[in-house]
A and B are shown apart, each in its own frame.
Chain A
Amino acid sequence: MFGLFNKSKQSEEVVPEWYAELQESQERWFSFLEKLEAKMEEFATAAIPELKQLLEEDDDLYKRTFHKVYSGVNGQLNNIREKARDTYEEKIISVYYHYNSKISVLSKHHNLVSDFRNNCSDRHNAFENKYDYWRKQIDKTKERDLEIEYQKILSEFETIKDKFKCTQCGGNLTIDKIFLIETYVSCPFCQTQNTFTPSTIGRNLQNIARELAEQRTAHLKEEFENEVDKERDLYHEHHTLSLSTIHESNKSVLNEIQIKMEDLEKQRQFAIQNAPKLRQIYLRAMYDEWNKITPDLKEHNEKMYLNQLKY
């Protein structure tokens, strides 16, 4: 880390006096972020198993204890991030502005000022990436295997579907499907309307249905997202190639690059056309799964599907 400035030192014969201050600020900034990153890692690695355990143990229907702690953990990560941002403004950017206004762009030393800013900003970006990484790891603690919960709901249904008798005549009542909310069930013998109230477990089906369908079709979503990324990658590759032609005068090399670029563009156009198709394939499959899990919501879901296709 302390070798950071060696290169510029060598290229500049006389290093200006003020350079020491920039150097010190940069070194402090790097070590400050390193310490924050260590904190973040330490905190997140301790929090992740705790969160997983809490989610499992939380008896509340809405897992509210888990959500409170989850929100508090993210609050601390956010606090660390804000600390870095505020410090960047206060200790780095203000120093940069100070020297940037003092040192003319024409000065041979001006690059020391801009290098200072670039180095610090790159380091800040690296820190932000680490933050994103830990945020995602914390997010993942919310994931649970919904197939297990789904099985619980199905087996509960098996135990109750033939369990009830008509409150009026005592005849057997069969619950013919998983009802999502209260409903009237009429007795096949005396026609009396009984009121059926689903259990807490049964009601949960409505809450998990979409996420379960998404879990089951995650691979299709990934295929779609990869196609979108591919378009961006191809675009950048094309752009880099096109820059490389600027200083190239050899005709056959230029020709080769041209052919490559055309090929990339073709692939990119294909990705542009293909991505919406893959999206539709994913959405259709996801809604099909969803409809299988909660057939009673099909009519509504189909409207939602059509809306989603439009946007």
Chain B
Amino acid sequence: MEEKKVNSFLNRLKENAQKQSNYGGETENTDAQMKLKDCPNCGAGRAKQDGVTHCAYCGFEFLSVKLTDGMYIKKEDNSL
């Protein structure tokens, strides 16, 4: 009878844990991706030398911030 109590407790613990939804939702396993963001205004792509914050052709603002030296993005990535 003792044995039973321990096992049934563990089973209920597991069941409840599986039943309860995870805060913030379920995680999905996604694959690596490569995407391109064209200028929604004129359709041009962003070339490395033109920076990533503004469209070199029509001036559309891709990023409304001034980039500093971060993890991979650097100051040089600001458009002139």
Contact = CB atoms under 8 A, between A and B. Distances in A.
A137 B68 CA distance: 47
Interface stretch (A65-73, A117-125, A140-148, A221-229): A65-73
A154 interface: no
A193 B27 contact: no
A186 B77 CA distance: 11
Interface in B8-22: 9-10, 13-14, 16-18, 20, 22
Contacts of A20: none
B50 to A, nearest CB: 8
A60 B72 contact: no
Contacts of A197: 30, 32-35
B64 interface: no
Contact of A46 (B6, B22, B34): B6
Contact of B48 (A68, A186, A198): A186
Interface of A is mostly: mixed
B1 interface: no
A50 B10 contact: yes
B14 A192 contact: no
Contacts, number: 105
A73 B45 CA distance: 55
A60 B71 contact: no
A47 interface: yes
A164 B27 CA distance: 25
Interface string A171-197: 001010001110111100011111111
Contacts of A193: 45-48, 52
Interface string A45-56: 011001000100
A43 B6 contact: yes
Choose among B7, B22, B32, B48 the residue with the greatest number of A CB atoms under 10 Å from its CB: B32
A159 to B, nearest CB: 9
A64 B18 CA distance: 9
Nearest to B3: A42
Contact of B28 (A164, A167, A185, A200): A200
Interface residues of B, number: 35
B36 A168 contact: yes
Contact of A194 (B29, B34, B71): B34
A72 B45 CA distance: 53
A46 B7 CA distance: 7
Contacts of A76: 9
B10 A47 contact: yes
Given A181-B72, A184-B77, A195-B37, A69 B49 contact: no
Contact of B33 (A47, A192, A196): A196
Contacts of B28: 200
A192 B46 contact: yes
Contacts of B18: 65
Contacts of A175: 32
A61 B29 contact: yes
Nearest to A296: B71
B6 A42 contact: yes
B43 to A, nearest CB: 11
Nearest to A297: B71
A191 B14 contact: no
Given A50-B14, A192-B45, A197-B34, 12 more contacts: A39-B6, A46-B6, A46-B7, A60-B26, A69-B13, A167-B34, A180-B71, A183-B71, A190-B45, A190-B47, A191-B49, A296-B72
Interface of B: 2-3, 6-7, 9-10, 13-14, 16-18, 20, 22, 26-37, 45-49, 52, 71-73, 77
